[in-house]
Amino acid sequence: MVSAAQVDIYTTHNGDIDLYQRRGSPQMAILGDSWKTIEDLRRRLFLTAVGRASATFANSVEADLLAWTSDEDARRRIRAMVESDVKAQSKS
């Protein structure tokens, strides 16, 4: 289950697992597969946001977002990352 605190750690390291590992901050631990879960949700929500996903795929992503996050705050933070990704892509 991904928490808002874990999403914050992910964004603090710009989604760079190597940077996270090199810093080795024990107070910033992401347990289990949370990093991969955040990456997966981010990628799939991005595809949905830019219109590259079917309705079935979009529904699946939304169901996973609800199932794999601890609360609305965590979901809001993941969605904010995706919004930034979409904006960055439209600028390039």
In this predicted model, what pLDDT tens digit does every residue of 35-54 receive, in sequence order? Answer: 999 999 999 999 999 999 99
Packing angle, helices 55-68 and 72-91, rounded to 10: 140
Element (H, E) at 8: helix 4-12
How many Å apart are CA 41 and CA 38, to the nearest integer? 5
pTM for the full model?
Answer: 0.90
Residue 20 is predicted with a pLDDT of 82
